[in-house]
Amino acid sequence: MQKAKSNLNFKKIMSSIISVLIIMASISLLVTGCNKENVEKKGKDETKDIKDMKEVKVLLDWVPNTNHTGLYVAVEKGFYKEEGLNVTIIQPPEGGGPELIAAEQGQFGISYQEQITYARTTKNPLPVKAIAAIIQHNTSGFASPLEKNIKTPKDFEGKKYGGWGSPMEEAMLKGIMEKNGADFSKLQIVNIGTADFFTSVQRDVDFSWIYYGWDGVAAKIKDFSINFIKLQDVDPILDFYTPVIITNENILKNDPDMVEKFMKATSRGYEYAIENPEDAVKLLLKHAPEIDEKLAIESQKYLAGEYKSDAKRWGEMKLEIWERYGNWMYEKGLIESKLSAEEAFTNEFLPK
Protein backbone atom coordinates (compact mmCIF):
# COMPACT_ATOMS: atom_id res chain seq x y z
CA MET A 1 0.00 0.00 0.00
CA GLN A 2 2.85 2.36 0.97
CA LYS A 3 4.68 1.49 -2.30
CA ALA A 4 1.55 2.20 -4.40
CA LYS A 5 1.13 5.53 -2.66
CA SER A 6 4.78 6.42 -3.35
CA ASN A 7 4.36 5.49 -7.03
CA LEU A 8 1.27 7.70 -7.20
CA ASN A 9 3.17 10.65 -5.68
CA PHE A 10 6.09 10.03 -8.06
CA LYS A 11 3.72 10.03 -11.05
CA LYS A 12 2.15 13.27 -9.86
CA ILE A 13 5.57 14.92 -9.43
CA MET A 14 6.76 13.74 -12.86
CA SER A 15 3.50 14.91 -14.40
CA SER A 16 4.02 18.35 -12.88
CA ILE A 17 7.64 18.53 -14.06
CA ILE A 18 6.64 17.53 -17.60
CA SER A 19 3.90 20.18 -17.59
CA VAL A 20 6.38 22.85 -16.48
CA LEU A 21 8.87 21.77 -19.15
CA ILE A 22 6.15 21.91 -21.81
CA ILE A 23 5.15 25.40 -20.68
CA MET A 24 8.81 26.56 -20.64
CA ALA A 25 9.39 25.11 -24.09
CA SER A 26 6.29 26.89 -25.40
CA ILE A 27 7.45 30.19 -23.90
CA SER A 28 10.90 29.68 -25.41
CA LEU A 29 9.44 29.05 -28.85
CA LEU A 30 7.19 32.07 -28.48
CA VAL A 31 10.09 34.32 -27.42
CA THR A 32 12.33 32.97 -30.19
CA GLY A 33 9.60 33.57 -32.72
CA CYS A 34 9.04 37.08 -31.43
CA ASN A 35 12.79 37.82 -31.46
CA LYS A 36 13.11 36.52 -35.01
CA GLU A 37 10.13 38.60 -36.02
CA ASN A 38 11.62 41.67 -34.30
CA VAL A 39 15.04 41.14 -35.94
CA GLU A 40 13.43 40.74 -39.35
CA LYS A 41 11.24 43.78 -38.69
CA LYS A 42 14.26 45.80 -37.53
CA GLY A 43 16.20 44.80 -40.64
CA LYS A 44 13.29 45.79 -42.85
CA ASP A 45 12.91 49.08 -40.94
CA GLU A 46 16.62 49.89 -41.30
CA THR A 47 16.48 49.13 -45.03
CA LYS A 48 13.39 51.26 -45.26
CA ASP A 49 15.12 54.05 -43.29
CA ILE A 50 18.11 54.06 -45.67
CA LYS A 51 15.77 54.10 -48.67
CA ASP A 52 13.88 57.01 -47.13
CA MET A 53 17.09 58.98 -46.55
CA LYS A 54 18.31 61.55 -49.03
CA GLU A 55 21.51 60.51 -50.82
CA VAL A 56 24.24 63.13 -50.48
CA LYS A 57 27.74 63.11 -52.00
CA VAL A 58 30.61 65.18 -50.60
CA LEU A 59 33.65 65.64 -52.86
CA LEU A 60 36.97 66.19 -51.12
CA ASP A 61 39.69 68.49 -52.41
CA TRP A 62 42.53 66.07 -51.73
CA VAL A 63 43.26 62.82 -49.94
CA PRO A 64 41.44 62.46 -46.58
CA ASN A 65 43.20 64.43 -43.84
CA THR A 66 42.48 66.33 -40.63
CA ASN A 67 40.87 69.23 -42.51
CA HIS A 68 38.06 66.76 -43.22
CA THR A 69 37.73 65.14 -39.79
CA GLY A 70 34.42 66.81 -38.91
CA LEU A 71 32.78 65.22 -41.96
CA TYR A 72 33.91 61.72 -40.99
CA VAL A 73 32.87 62.30 -37.37
CA ALA A 74 29.38 63.26 -38.55
CA VAL A 75 29.21 60.03 -40.59
CA GLU A 76 30.50 57.76 -37.81
CA LYS A 77 28.48 59.37 -34.99
CA GLY A 78 25.28 59.19 -37.02
CA PHE A 79 24.75 62.97 -37.11
CA TYR A 80 23.84 62.91 -40.81
CA LYS A 81 21.45 59.98 -40.38
CA GLU A 82 19.68 61.86 -37.60
CA GLU A 83 18.98 64.53 -40.20
CA GLY A 84 17.71 61.97 -42.73
CA LEU A 85 20.83 62.13 -44.91
CA ASN A 86 22.86 59.19 -46.22
CA VAL A 87 26.21 60.88 -46.83
CA THR A 88 29.02 59.44 -48.95
CA ILE A 89 32.45 61.12 -48.95
CA ILE A 90 34.40 60.80 -52.22
CA GLN A 91 37.93 61.69 -53.28
CA PRO A 92 37.58 63.20 -56.78
CA PRO A 93 40.25 63.94 -59.40
CA GLU A 94 42.80 66.51 -58.21
CA GLY A 95 41.47 70.06 -58.08
CA GLY A 96 38.11 69.17 -59.64
CA GLY A 97 35.87 70.29 -56.78
CA PRO A 98 34.20 73.50 -58.08
CA GLU A 99 33.80 72.16 -61.62
CA LEU A 100 32.21 68.92 -60.41
CA ILE A 101 29.92 70.70 -57.96
CA ALA A 102 28.91 73.14 -60.71
CA ALA A 103 28.08 70.11 -62.88
CA GLU A 104 26.04 68.66 -59.97
CA GLN A 105 28.24 65.57 -59.67
CA GLY A 106 27.97 66.02 -55.91
CA GLN A 107 25.90 68.13 -53.54
CA PHE A 108 28.82 69.50 -51.53
CA GLY A 109 32.56 69.88 -52.00
CA ILE A 110 35.73 71.09 -50.32
CA SER A 111 37.45 74.02 -52.01
CA TYR A 112 39.35 77.27 -51.27
CA GLN A 113 38.48 80.95 -51.37
CA GLU A 114 40.80 81.57 -54.31
CA GLN A 115 39.22 78.72 -56.31
CA ILE A 116 35.73 80.11 -55.75
CA THR A 117 36.95 83.59 -56.68
CA TYR A 118 38.35 82.24 -59.96
CA ALA A 119 35.19 80.20 -60.60
CA ARG A 120 32.84 83.15 -60.15
CA THR A 121 34.82 85.71 -62.17
CA THR A 122 35.58 83.83 -65.39
CA LYS A 123 33.81 84.60 -68.70
CA ASN A 124 31.49 81.68 -67.96
CA PRO A 125 31.04 81.86 -64.15
CA LEU A 126 30.36 78.65 -62.26
CA PRO A 127 27.25 78.61 -59.99
CA VAL A 128 29.15 77.63 -56.83
CA LYS A 129 29.07 79.29 -53.42
CA ALA A 130 30.93 78.84 -50.12
CA ILE A 131 28.70 77.93 -47.18
CA ALA A 132 31.25 77.39 -44.38
CA ALA A 133 34.90 78.03 -43.55
CA ILE A 134 36.47 74.83 -42.23
CA ILE A 135 39.31 76.84 -40.64
CA GLN A 136 38.90 80.47 -39.58
CA HIS A 137 42.35 81.75 -40.55
CA ASN A 138 44.90 80.91 -43.22
CA THR A 139 47.40 78.57 -41.53
CA SER A 140 49.58 78.21 -44.62
CA GLY A 141 52.93 79.78 -45.36
CA PHE A 142 56.43 79.32 -46.73
CA ALA A 143 58.65 76.74 -45.03
CA SER A 144 62.32 75.92 -45.39
CA PRO A 145 65.00 73.90 -43.59
CA LEU A 146 66.62 75.92 -40.81
CA GLU A 147 70.04 75.84 -42.48
CA LYS A 148 68.68 77.70 -45.55
CA ASN A 149 68.36 80.78 -43.30
CA ILE A 150 65.13 81.99 -44.97
CA LYS A 151 63.48 84.11 -42.29
CA THR A 152 61.74 86.86 -44.29
CA PRO A 153 60.57 87.35 -47.92
CA LYS A 154 63.75 89.38 -48.48
CA ASP A 155 65.64 86.09 -48.06
CA PHE A 156 63.83 84.61 -51.10
CA GLU A 157 66.38 86.37 -53.33
CA GLY A 158 68.76 83.89 -54.94
CA LYS A 159 66.69 80.91 -53.79
CA LYS A 160 64.63 78.18 -55.49
CA TYR A 161 60.94 78.00 -54.70
CA GLY A 162 59.12 74.70 -55.25
CA GLY A 163 55.46 75.13 -56.21
CA TRP A 164 52.72 73.65 -58.39
CA GLY A 165 52.72 76.15 -61.26
CA SER A 166 49.81 78.37 -60.23
CA PRO A 167 49.70 82.03 -61.39
CA MET A 168 48.40 82.88 -57.93
CA GLU A 169 51.62 81.55 -56.38
CA GLU A 170 53.73 83.79 -58.56
CA ALA A 171 51.58 86.84 -57.79
CA MET A 172 51.72 86.12 -54.07
CA LEU A 173 55.48 85.64 -54.03
CA LYS A 174 56.01 88.79 -56.09
CA GLY A 175 53.65 90.79 -53.90
CA ILE A 176 55.18 89.88 -50.56
CA MET A 177 58.74 90.21 -51.89
CA GLU A 178 58.08 93.70 -53.22
CA LYS A 179 56.39 94.65 -49.95
CA ASN A 180 59.60 93.63 -48.16
CA GLY A 181 61.95 95.41 -50.57
CA ALA A 182 63.09 92.22 -52.32
CA ASP A 183 63.82 91.72 -56.02
CA PHE A 184 61.38 89.15 -57.41
CA SER A 185 63.55 88.61 -60.51
CA LYS A 186 66.17 86.99 -58.29
CA LEU A 187 63.82 84.17 -57.28
CA GLN A 188 63.77 80.93 -59.29
CA ILE A 189 60.42 79.11 -59.37
CA VAL A 190 60.43 75.35 -59.92
CA ASN A 191 57.28 73.31 -60.54
CA ILE A 192 57.44 70.30 -58.20
CA GLY A 193 53.74 69.45 -58.43
CA THR A 194 52.58 67.32 -55.51
CA ALA A 195 56.06 66.17 -54.48
CA ASP A 196 56.69 65.63 -50.76
CA PHE A 197 57.82 68.77 -48.94
CA PHE A 198 60.62 67.11 -46.95
CA THR A 199 62.11 65.36 -49.96
CA SER A 200 61.89 68.47 -52.15
CA VAL A 201 63.58 70.92 -49.77
CA GLN A 202 66.45 68.50 -49.16
CA ARG A 203 67.00 67.64 -52.81
CA ASP A 204 65.48 70.06 -55.34
CA VAL A 205 64.47 73.44 -53.86
CA ASP A 206 65.13 75.79 -50.93
CA PHE A 207 61.57 76.44 -49.73
CA SER A 208 57.97 75.58 -50.44
CA TRP A 209 54.39 76.48 -49.49
CA ILE A 210 52.86 74.27 -46.79
CA TYR A 211 49.89 74.04 -44.47
CA TYR A 212 51.30 74.23 -40.98
CA GLY A 213 48.55 71.97 -39.65
CA TRP A 214 50.01 69.08 -41.66
CA ASP A 215 53.62 69.51 -42.83
CA GLY A 216 54.46 71.96 -40.04
CA VAL A 217 53.24 69.49 -37.44
CA ALA A 218 55.03 66.65 -39.28
CA ALA A 219 58.28 68.63 -39.13
CA LYS A 220 58.00 68.75 -35.33
CA ILE A 221 57.35 65.02 -35.10
CA LYS A 222 60.29 64.27 -37.42
CA ASP A 223 62.49 66.70 -35.45
CA PHE A 224 63.09 68.47 -38.76
CA SER A 225 63.83 72.11 -37.88
CA ILE A 226 62.19 74.65 -40.20
CA ASN A 227 61.71 78.37 -40.60
CA PHE A 228 58.05 79.13 -41.25
CA ILE A 229 56.73 82.40 -42.69
CA LYS A 230 52.97 82.54 -42.13
CA LEU A 231 51.19 84.38 -44.94
CA GLN A 232 48.80 86.29 -42.70
CA ASP A 233 51.76 87.58 -40.66
CA VAL A 234 53.44 88.98 -43.79
CA ASP A 235 50.28 90.60 -45.17
CA PRO A 236 46.78 90.58 -43.55
CA ILE A 237 45.24 90.52 -47.03
CA LEU A 238 46.53 86.95 -47.38
CA ASP A 239 44.48 85.76 -44.41
CA PHE A 240 41.79 84.19 -46.62
CA TYR A 241 39.54 81.18 -46.07
CA THR A 242 41.19 77.88 -46.96
CA PRO A 243 39.57 75.38 -47.07
CA VAL A 244 35.82 76.00 -47.37
CA ILE A 245 32.70 73.89 -47.95
CA ILE A 246 30.90 74.71 -51.19
CA THR A 247 27.68 73.82 -52.95
CA ASN A 248 25.77 74.59 -56.13
CA GLU A 249 23.52 77.68 -56.16
CA ASN A 250 20.71 75.58 -57.64
CA ILE A 251 20.78 73.32 -54.58
CA LEU A 252 20.63 76.35 -52.28
CA LYS A 253 17.58 77.55 -54.18
CA ASN A 254 15.76 74.26 -54.70
CA ASP A 255 16.62 72.28 -51.55
CA PRO A 256 17.54 74.71 -48.75
CA ASP A 257 16.13 72.38 -46.09
CA MET A 258 18.60 69.64 -47.05
CA VAL A 259 21.50 72.13 -46.98
CA GLU A 260 20.47 73.31 -43.54
CA LYS A 261 20.34 69.74 -42.23
CA PHE A 262 23.71 68.94 -43.76
CA MET A 263 25.31 71.98 -42.17
CA LYS A 264 23.74 71.22 -38.79
CA ALA A 265 25.24 67.72 -38.76
CA THR A 266 28.58 68.89 -40.18
CA SER A 267 28.87 71.62 -37.57
CA ARG A 268 28.26 69.02 -34.85
CA GLY A 269 31.05 66.92 -36.38
CA TYR A 270 33.58 69.75 -36.23
CA GLU A 271 32.49 70.82 -32.74
CA TYR A 272 33.07 67.22 -31.63
CA ALA A 273 36.54 67.26 -33.22
CA ILE A 274 37.32 70.49 -31.36
CA GLU A 275 36.33 68.99 -28.01
CA ASN A 276 37.61 65.44 -28.63
CA PRO A 277 40.57 65.58 -31.05
CA GLU A 278 42.03 62.15 -30.26
CA ASP A 279 38.71 60.32 -30.47
CA ALA A 280 37.87 62.24 -33.65
CA VAL A 281 41.12 60.96 -35.20
CA LYS A 282 40.06 57.37 -34.52
CA LEU A 283 36.90 57.99 -36.52
CA LEU A 284 38.91 59.57 -39.36
CA LEU A 285 41.32 56.62 -39.46
CA LYS A 286 38.43 54.18 -39.96
CA HIS A 287 38.09 55.73 -43.40
CA ALA A 288 41.75 56.51 -44.03
CA PRO A 289 43.87 53.87 -42.22
CA GLU A 290 46.87 54.79 -44.37
CA ILE A 291 47.35 58.06 -42.44
CA ASP A 292 50.10 58.05 -39.82
CA GLU A 293 48.24 57.98 -36.50
CA LYS A 294 50.75 60.05 -34.54
CA LEU A 295 50.76 62.76 -37.21
CA ALA A 296 46.95 62.75 -37.37
CA ILE A 297 46.61 63.14 -33.60
CA GLU A 298 49.08 66.02 -33.37
CA SER A 299 47.57 67.68 -36.42
CA GLN A 300 44.10 67.32 -34.95
CA LYS A 301 45.18 68.86 -31.66
CA TYR A 302 46.61 71.82 -33.57
CA LEU A 303 43.47 72.26 -35.68
CA ALA A 304 41.21 71.99 -32.63
CA GLY A 305 42.26 75.55 -31.86
CA GLU A 306 42.00 76.69 -35.49
CA TYR A 307 38.65 75.34 -36.68
CA LYS A 308 36.63 77.98 -34.84
CA SER A 309 39.44 80.16 -33.45
CA ASP A 310 38.04 83.62 -32.62
CA ALA A 311 34.71 83.19 -34.45
CA LYS A 312 31.41 83.00 -32.56
CA ARG A 313 30.53 79.74 -34.27
CA TRP A 314 32.25 77.19 -36.48
CA GLY A 315 32.04 77.93 -40.20
CA GLU A 316 31.28 81.65 -40.01
CA MET A 317 32.75 83.88 -42.73
CA LYS A 318 33.23 87.65 -42.97
CA LEU A 319 32.43 89.83 -45.95
CA GLU A 320 35.60 91.91 -45.51
CA ILE A 321 37.80 88.79 -45.94
CA TRP A 322 36.11 87.94 -49.24
CA GLU A 323 36.22 91.55 -50.44
CA ARG A 324 39.82 92.16 -49.43
CA TYR A 325 41.28 89.07 -51.04
CA GLY A 326 39.04 89.33 -54.11
CA ASN A 327 40.23 92.92 -54.68
CA TRP A 328 43.85 91.81 -54.25
CA MET A 329 43.43 89.08 -56.88
CA TYR A 330 41.87 91.60 -59.28
CA GLU A 331 44.65 94.17 -58.71
CA LYS A 332 47.27 91.48 -59.39
CA GLY A 333 45.56 90.56 -62.67
CA LEU A 334 44.65 87.08 -61.46
CA ILE A 335 40.94 87.43 -62.25
CA GLU A 336 39.20 88.95 -65.27
CA SER A 337 36.56 90.91 -63.40
CA LYS A 338 35.91 92.10 -59.87
CA LEU A 339 34.35 89.62 -57.48
CA SER A 340 30.89 90.30 -56.07
CA ALA A 341 31.86 89.14 -52.59
CA GLU A 342 28.28 89.17 -51.25
CA GLU A 343 27.33 86.52 -53.80
CA ALA A 344 30.39 84.30 -53.31
CA PHE A 345 29.51 83.05 -49.84
CA THR A 346 26.72 82.78 -47.28
CA ASN A 347 26.41 82.08 -43.54
CA GLU A 348 22.68 81.52 -43.91
CA PHE A 349 22.76 77.74 -43.53
CA LEU A 350 24.99 77.55 -40.45
CA PRO A 351 23.26 76.53 -37.20
CA LYS A 352 21.99 79.62 -35.38
Cα–Cα dist 238/205, whole Å = 23
pLDDT tens digits in sequence order for the chain, 352 residues long: 333 333 333 344 334 433 433 433 443 443 345 444 554 444 444 444 667 899 999 999 989 999 999 999 999 999 999 999 999 999 976 656 899 999 999 999 999 999 999 999 999 999 999 999 999 999 999 999 999 999 999 999 999 999 988 888 999 999 999 999 999 999 999 999 889 999 999 999 999 999 999 999 999 999 999 999 999 999 999 999 999 999 999 999 999 999 999 999 999 999 999 999 999 999 999 999 999 999 999 999 999 999 999 999 999 999 999 999 999 999 999 999 999 999 999 999 999 9
CB atoms within 10 A of CB 160: 18
**E strand intervals along 15-93:** 54-59, 85-90
Cα–Cα dist 49/113, whole Å = 37
Let me know if the fold of 51-136+241-344 is the same as that of 140-238. Answer: yes
Cα–Cα dist 245/259, whole Å = 11
pTM, entire model: 0.85
Fold for the domain defined by 140-238:
D-Maltodextrin-Binding Protein; domain 2 (3.40.190)
Query: b vs e for 180-189, b when ≥16 Cβ sit within 10 Å of the residue's Cβ?
Result: eebebeebee
For the chain, domain boundaries: 51-136+241-344, 140-238
51-136+241-344 CATH choice from 3.40.50.1000, 3.40.1190.10, 3.30.300.30, 3.40.190.10: 3.40.190.10
Contact 233, 99 (CB under 8 A): no
Contact 116, 85 (CB under 8 A): no
